[in-house]
Structure 1
Amino acid sequence: MPTVDATVFLPLLCGMDRLLSEFHANDIAPGDLLRAVLEVALQGTPQPLVLAVSGGRDSMALLYAMARWAPSRVAAVATFDHATGDYATEAASLVAAQARRLGLTVVRERARTGGTSEAAWRDARWAFLRRVARGFRARVATAHTRDDQLETIVMRTLRGSGARGLAALAAPGDVLRPWLGVSRAELARWVEAESLPYLEDPMNASRAYLRGRVRHELLPAFEQAAPGFGEAMLALGERAAEWRRDVDRQLEGCGLSVNAAGTRLTVPARVLERTTDEGRAVLWPAICGRVGVTLDAHGTRNAVRFTMAGRRGAHIVLAGGATISRHRDARGEVFEVRRAPARHGLSARLTSGAAPTFAGAIDALPPRFGRWRFQRLGVEPLATDAWCMALPAGTPVVVRAWAPGDRIRTDGAPAGRRVTRYFSESRVSVLDRPTWPVLLANGEPVWIPGVCRGLAAPSRPGRPELIWYRCEREFD
């Protein structure tokens, strides 16, 4: 990308308003402004980018700007057809055709069913974008503008958002938004000057949804009643975003641990116990946000109360199915936050009380059991390793999820003992238990992987007819 004169565009680092003043005072072409904005946005972003392009003017400006000034940074162009009508299909076709003409990789997908709400469309679109980004090991870049930020701040204010929510699109995160300091009018000047193709979304003029009413009715009315309203709201959003960054910096070094999938987090209990309720009300939303869990006011209050009242092994359920629990691990007392699991496929069947998942010979255990993996071993492991077990070849077995009444006979309890006791001794969270696999032989539980082996599970070495397996959790 060509280097831009820093004496003209250095104000970008201090504020977009000053940059625009320099832009107009020096009568610089619209493309030079956008090139400067893009250059600064990319300086701190080493990852390749997946461009989210809808076919509208702002996103087509992003497509052409990246293709012209930073094509090597583009991993792919992603466009999503919401299946809401002719416009959605035509827009996706335009994006695909133009991106290919520019020599860029295109990923296009159509929704199976058309959504009926803004939230449903947004969720489907973002699920697609994040899937594409993972595939390319890239970061999503969107074309949100200064106007989008203002509308989002106002919408969140109307909904009673706190400081975290008012940061809106400027909140720290993994999405790059290079146009966030640029107005739609500035983008329009460049698009028209370059005669770039785009489609006008008919929903932009609609008042059917809140964003349209905010854009066309509320914001003009507020600005007329209180000139400077928009600038004041944008300043509020920037202060909220900086506040969020400060809170996130406070959490660094506090011992937060997030699993590889980004769905589960633990934090030492002392981090939350050694502050006030007001401090906990600030920390809990930031902690939950690390795994994509959004706390509303009610959820925040529940989390604050749970901090001091929750005993070890207790948990609370948040809106959307996420959970906060308290247990003990190698570091001591911890709180664990879990994002709600996806309710589909085998995992959904395991937690819905479905019939046994596998019934057959020990020689052919399934390689996958929900989020667990069975691996057949070629050598005998340590006899004390509860993650491993053996049975004679040909033994009929059943693998199913744990049931609350399960009992197992062990050396320490030959008459039988509830599996829940062993779960507690092994510090298995109550949230993990419903999907924990149990292997039965002759109708009797003989192996709870990682927890205990029963008397009916011979583990003596040197028996060639024994079939050895190791079972372990995936995605930890």
Structure 2
Amino acid sequence: MGAVFAPDIKECFGRADEEVGRRICYNDGYDTERRGQRLNNVQLEREFAQFCKTHQLQSAHAVIGVSGGVDSMVLLQLCHRAMHGSEPLLGGFSVVHVDHGLRPTSADDAQFVASYCSRLGVFCEVVPVEVKDCHGEGIEAAARRVRYEALLARARSYPHGVCLVAHHSRDQLETFVMRWLRGSGLAGLGAMRPAAIREGVPLLRPLLRVRRSEIVQYANMWDVPFREDETNANTRFFRNRVRHELLPLLAALQPAVEARTLDLTEQLQADESFLQEQAERALEQVVVRRSGHDVEISTEAFAGLHLSLQRRVIHILLNCFCARDWLFSHVESIRTLALRQDTASAAVSLPHGLGAWREYGRIYIGHQALPHDHETRGPRSIAQWDLVHVRQLSFASAGVFWRFRALPIAKLPPQPRRSPWRAYVPDVDFVEIVCGLPTSVRVRPLGLAGSKKLQDVFSDSKIPRRLRPGWPIVRVAGRIVWIPGAVRTDVQRWDDTGGGYALFARPSRFQD
């Protein structure tokens, strides 16, 4: 920021008694049509008071983010006056100034805010942060992320802490346009809410329907100083380009663009709230399994949803793993994958290490697993199962909880039940259970002339790819005799001359 300003109201706004409906030029950089009488200073304080009562801030401690700009300095002034009226409107408040350290004058900004708070007798904490673009989000988004992290952390330190920020109607217009250009869906186009919950903390914007010109007017009325951020004129940043290059063009076509956008975003937010409720209900109908790694969805149930709910269900699930601004293209790639009929399996990659993949009537969304190199990693032994002394065996593998059971029998049943979850082995002392065998290994399924690769056995049995590296395989003397849920091989065939064991396997549940 640069020098301290005390704006001249006549220079900024012209005559105070201009007739309603006349176009006037504010120093926002573009024309705005007056839509009814502008708020005066008393009305602004009344609206702020009503906001505090609506959100029951009389019992809350408000943490205010103050940068030193005119918007946040006016919010600070409003909070200060609200505390010293005949009826206190806040349970308490304090100021947090986040020093991003991105500009040479950032230390001066911090000193300016701290000094003004000291004059008012308001507690102010300066929080230095380090801004790193670790997610490819851009320096603007990274700065915003760490700023909110600092504000929310301070608010959580109070029993009834809330965050107050000074976004106004032009900020809402800019946010709407930026999200529209980036391809956001309905939730994103709703832009900023007057009240929201962020990481468990109420985040409130009491000035969202107030014009910036009215904020400047209030600052002039109460001699509220502020500092101008010199980077606000730098069109290298996306928001500044929208503000200085695009919004003047929109205002030339529609002078009431701010007011129209406020009305539109409120409608979108109401529609979004209703549709979100419907999507959350639909989510319970289509999700088959949840874990910390991924979610499994029935493609049949998913296909029965309305197009709007399909997209919303996907968006909800993506946000569960990574709360980012997911684009329409991301959501649509998953929806298309889920509805494909031309292939049993396919996958798409997404930002932030997430992905979606389809396997045998199921769609999975979650963290992409690292590829398994079975040929080089080699098998992993799970257990040496002593059939004589241990009749039941349980273990977890690849997120599945397995139960094995051995039943001694004197002879093979006349008509043994054919089930991939049951196998008969002759009288042996123990069997070995392994996983991670190379998928190129060949086996000879019982009753089949010829052999198959393990990969083909897994595919024919519709065993999901993500489970194959940890799928248990039973061997005797180093040779595969049984792949539970898939095939029994012709190795160690029972010739019915003596006793043996019936082996049972059951994947009873998935581990979270």
- Structure 1 pair 336–178 and aligned structure 2 pair: CA distance change class (3 A): farther
2:315 maps to which of 265, 285, 288: 285
Contact 2:294 2:366 in 1 (8 A): yes
CA distance in 2, matches of 1:157, 1:211: 13
Relative distance call for 1:423 and 1:154 in structure 2 (3 A) is: closer
**Cα distance change, pair 288–130 in 1 and its aligned pair in 2 (3 A):** farther
CA contact (8 A) 1:316 1:324 kept: yes
Match of residue 48, structure 1, among 61, 65, 68: 61
Decide which of 360, 381, 392 is 1:407's aligned counterpart: 381
Name the % identity: 24
Residue 64 of structure 2 is aligned to residue 64 of structure 1: no
* 1:188 shift after superposition: 0.8
The Cα offsets for residues 277-334 of structure 1, whole Å up to 9 and x where unpaired, read as 443013322454466243212220233245457999998653222456899xxxxx99
TM-score, length of structure 1 as denominator length: 0.58
CA distance in 1, matches of 2:64, 2:206: 11
> Cα distance 1:154–1:253, how it changes in 2: closer, same or farther (>3 A)?
closer
Residue 307 and residue 30 in structure 1: after superposition, are their counterparts in 2 closer, same or farther (change >3 A)? same
Instruction: Tell me which of the two structures has the higher relative contact order, counting C-alpha pairs closer than 8 angstroms and 6 or more residues apart.
Output: 2
Q: Distance in 1 between matches of 2:53 and 2:466?
A: 42
Counterpart mapping for 1:425-440 below 5 A: 425=401
Residue number in structure 2 paired with 1:321: 353
Give the match for residue 301 of structure 1: 332
Q: SS state of the match for residue 78, structure 1?
A: strand
The 8 Å contact of residues 75 and 136 in structure 1, kept in 2 or not, is answered as no
Structure 2 residue 88 is the aligned partner of structure 1 residue 90 = no
Partner letter of residue 168 of structure 1? A
Which residue in the other structure is 1:81 paired with?
99
Q: How does 1:140-179 map to 2 (within 5 A)?
A: 140-170=163-193, 173-174=196-197, 175-179=203-207
What corresponds to 2:484 in structure 1?
none
Residue 131 in structure 1 maps to residue 149 in structure 2: no
Q: Does 1:37 align with 2:48?
A: yes
Aligned residues: 343
Aligned AA for 1:320? H
Q: Is the 8 A contact 1:404 1:420 kept in 2?
A: no
> Aligned letter for 1:407?
S
- Distance (whole Å) between structure 2 residues aligned to residue 282 and residue 160 of structure 1: 15
1:215 to 2:243 alignment: yes
**Structure 1: distance between partners of 2:55 and 2:108:** 35
Name the SS of the counterpart of 1:55 in structure 2. coil
Distance 1:278 1:109 in 2: 42
Quick check: which one's strand share is greater? 2
The equivalent of 1:118 in structure 2 is 140
> Could you tell me how far apart the structure 2 residues matched to 1:22 and 1:264 are?
55
Helix, strand or coil for the counterpart of 1:320? coil
1:57 & 1:313 partners in 2: Cα distance? 56
Alignment pair present for 1:197 and 2:225: yes
With structure 2 as the length reference, what TM-score do the two structures score? 0.55
Cα deviations by residue, 1:132-176 (Å, 9 ceiling, x for unpaired): 333335332210000101111122222233322211113873221
Deviations 1:371-414 (A, max 9, x none): xxxxxxxxxxxxxxxxxxxxxxxxxxxxxxxx995433265788
User: What value does the CA root-mean-square deviation take over the aligned residues?
Assistant: 4.7
- Which residue type is aligned with residue 108 of structure 2? E
Whole-Å separation in 2 of the counterparts to 1:43 and 1:91: 33
Provide the C-alpha distance between the structure 1 equivalents of 2:149 and 2:297, rounded to a whole number of angstroms. 31
Higher percent of residues as helix: 1
Shift of 1:20: 7.7
Work out whether residues 256 and 268 of structure 1, in 8 Å CA contact, stay in contact via their aligned partners in 2.
no
CA distance, structure 1, for counterparts of residue 293 and residue 209 of structure 2: 33
CA distance 1:79–1:266, change in 2 (3 Å): farther
Secondary structure of the residue that 1:319 maps to in structure 2?
coil
Q: Is the 8 A contact 1:313 1:430 kept in 2?
A: no
Match of 2:216 in 1: 188
Does residue 423 (structure 1) correspond to residue 399 (structure 2)? The answer is: yes
Alpha-carbon contact 1:52-1:141 (below 8 Å) kept: yes
Which amino acid letter does the alignment assign opposite residue 139 of structure 1? V
**1:252-263 maps to which residues of 2 (within 5 A)?**
none
Larger radius of gyration: 2
SS in 1 for 2:352: helix
Bigger mean CA deviation after superposition, 75-84 or 178-187: 75-84
Matches of 1:267 and 1:181 in 2, distance apart?
42
Shift of 1:426: 5.9
Structure 2, unmatched stretches of 5+, are: 1-31, 84-88, 198-202, 286-291, 371-376, 404-463, 470-511
CA distance in 2, matches of 1:426, 1:235: 56
Inter-partner Cα distance in structure 2 for 1:336 and 1:135: 38
Shift of 1:56: 0.7
Equivalent pair of 1:254/1:271 in contact (CA under 8 Å): no
What is the CA–CA distance in structure 2 between the aligned matches of 1:35 and 1:266, rounded to whole Å? Answer: 48
Aligned residue identity for 1:425: F
Q: Deviations over 1:153-202 (max 9, x none)?
A: 12222223332221111387322111100011111111110011221111
1:232–1:39: structure 2 CA closer, same or farther, 3 Å change rule? closer
In structure 1, stretches of 5+ residues that fail to align are 1-16, 258-262, 328-332, 341-350, 352-402, 435-475
Cα distance, 1:31–1:286 mapped onto 2, change above 3 Å: farther
Would you say the 8 A contact 2:184–2:325 is kept in 1?
A: no
Query: Residues 99, 430 of structure 1: CA spacing in aligned structure 2 closer, same or farther, 3 A cutoff?
Result: farther
